Structure 1
Amino acid sequence: MDNLFSTGLVNVTLDKEGNAFYEIVAPAAWDYIEADDQLMKTAEKADIIVFGSLAQRNKKTRETIQKILDLNKINIFDVNLRPPYDNHDVISDTLYKTKICKLNDLEILKLAEWYGFESDLHEAAIGIREKFGCEIVCVTRGSHGASLLRNNEWVEDPGFKVVVKDTVGAGDSFLAALIKGFLEDKPNDELLEDANLLGAYVVTKDGPTPMLNFDRIEKIRKERKEKK
């Protein structure tokens, strides 16, 4: 409990296509996370650390996250380059400690510009892997699906055509399915398809964490197969 700062608040506005625009209120309690003994002991027990760049906008939480990353767990970085919280040095320092990097097509082009990589998504992903040593680089492409670089294999999935109601939570659900597939050691194409599938299902619902209807999820998968 933080007695000085309020719980994090994000004001979300949806356009007529259901795309979300965010106002991330600052300061918030999560800007001041201390690396106390309890937190570090909990982190030491973890197999996977999932974190973002936005949470590192404040020095205090940034130092805490970097300390946790130094434990060398399976560090999974959800890149979020929302100005003014798109600090070049913070992104660089973090990528060097990252095993799995997930970012969107605009963000990877921004990194390509920063580091002098080719602007082609595949070549930019290779650039990230070679410069920072990331094992997996995953690029989301909105309604056009996603791409994945792993073990020198570049795979693409076109995504699923659905009626969009609310895009909030799509990226997080995509990443959750990606992590699940990684832990189950699924082939790259299956891993990427499942991640796209869950993200597609979530955008058909209101809110970022809808109840999962697995029959409906598999129906979305089946509908795409039937259209091929």
Structure 2
Amino acid sequence: MITVIGESLVDIISDPRRPGVVQPHPGGSPLNVAVGVARLGLATSLVTHYAGDPHGDMIEGHLKANGVSVVRGGSSPTSTAAATLGPDGAAIYAFNISWDINGASLPALAAVQGSTHVHTGSIAAVLAPGEKATLGLLEAARERATTSFDPNCRPAICPDVAAARTQAERFVAVSDIVKASDEDLAWLYPHRTSEESLAAWLELGPALVALTRGASGPVILARQGRAEMAAEPVSVADTVGAGDSFMAALISGLDQLAALGAGARDRLQSLSRDELHGLAAHANRAAAITCSKPGANPPHSAELGPLSFPLRTPLGH
């Protein structure tokens, strides 16, 4: 069982290339990761909030259609994000959002304690009052599960960069796997390079840290090695959800390597360079597939295929 903790919302997407067309899509980084992991064949639950309103009904239908179990708390209306696409397909967001899972603490705790891996991030890690519950659940999961975190920074939600940096480092310190974008790290740490920030986060405790760099492709850094590659060429519809698909495929790939779960931490710490490269390629491919479609639409297992490794030419040939 994989459990994801975090916000669900409806992205209301406007594309200047298609005037007058407004497209609502279920979204939110944690929801996208949960759907992505479920589509890759893993039993998945989502600890989240949405209301019994039309937007909430859309989210619930989407989760059910993708086989994601839901633990739902909170009492506010369903959150929304108005997303405007730029000429490169990247989105700029304006949020109407709340994050609170009150009333669901016991089933949420049961979900994370019954999981092999627990993931969180984005708005759920910084927005009061729910951010404390999110951190507490991640801490509670570690006895039985591996954990992961993606800050997916939203300056419009948490404009205080010092507070966001402190909060991100709290989550990094209790995570086995961390993923961030180059934009995240440039905002959190403007006076150092992304590579320096990755190395600093690795020292806080994770077994591996991954960096997405848009068209420049991903980097995965671990104590035993490093993998880097260019992004796969693709005709971009938009980039909504690409990082979340990368994260979902990273979790799926680690499952295929038998590197998830508290009992697999030694395995996670000892991944080979070929395995790191295979993970990066797997997640890179998932992100490219998502970029080729409108909205956050992560690939299914049949579309992505299994984790694979680079072929090595035998010595003497």
- Normalising by structure 2, report the TM-score: 0.61
Say if 1:62 and 1:213 are closer, same or farther in 2 by CA, change over 3 A. Answer: closer
Look up the match of 1:173.
245
Which of the numbers 59, 62, 65 marks the counterpart of 2:134?
A: 65
1:90 aligns with 2:157: no
Question: Which residue pairs with 1:32 in the alignment?
Answer: 100
Shift of 1:123: 3.3
Question: Do the aligned residues in 1 keep the contact of 2:74 with 2:100 (CA within 8 Å)?
Answer: no
CA gap of 1:3–1:68, structure 2 versus 1, over 3 A, is: closer
The answer to whether the Cα contact below 8 Å between 2:125 and 2:151 also exists between their aligned partners in 1 is no
- Are 2:134 and 1:47 equivalent residues in the alignment? no
Give the direction of change, closer, same or farther, for the CA distance of 1:111–1:153 in structure 2 (3 Å limit): farther
Q: Is this contact kept in 2: 1:49–1:76, CA < 8 A? A: yes
Q: What whole-Å deviation, never above 9, does each CA across 1:55-89 have from its counterpart, x for those lacking one? A: 13333211111111112131110112221425232
Residue pair 1:145, 1:196 contacting (<8 A) in 2 also: yes
Matched residue, 1:189 = 277
In the aligned structure 2, how far is the partner of 1:33 from the partner of 1:211? 29
Cα distance in structure 2, aligned partners of 1:55 and 1:77: 11
Q: In structure 2, what is the Cα distance between the partners aligned to 1:210 and 1:93?
A: 29
Displacement of 1:213 after TM fit? 8.5
- Percent identity reads 26
Structure 2 gaps of 5+ residues are: 1-50, 52-72, 258-273, 306-317
Letter in 2 for 1:168: V
| CA–CA separation in structure 2 for the residues paired with 1:211 and 1:105 | 23
Measure, in 1, the Cα distance between the counterparts of 2:82 and 2:299. Answer: 23
Aligned partners of 1:122 and 1:154 also within 8 Å: no
In the alignment, is the contact (CA less than 8 A) between 1:80 and 1:107 conserved in 2? yes
d(CA) in 1 for partners of 2:88 and 2:245? 20
5+ residue gaps, structure 1, are 219-228
Q: Does 1:79 align with 2:151?
A: yes
Distance 1:213 1:100 in 2: 22
Residue type of the alignment partner of 2:153: L
Q: So what's the TM-score if we normalise by structure 1?
A: 0.82
Q: Quick check: 55-64 or 94-103, which moved more?
A: 55-64
**Are 2:286 and 2:299, in contact at CA under 8 Å, matched by a contact in 1?**
no
More deviation, 83-92/135-144: 83-92
How many residue pairs match? The answer is: 210
Does structure 1 retain, via aligned residues, the 8 Å contact 2:80–2:95? Answer: yes
Coordinate RMSD, CA, aligned = 2.4
The SS at the match of 2:84 is: strand
The equivalent position to 1:199 in structure 2, one of 283, 287, 293, is 287
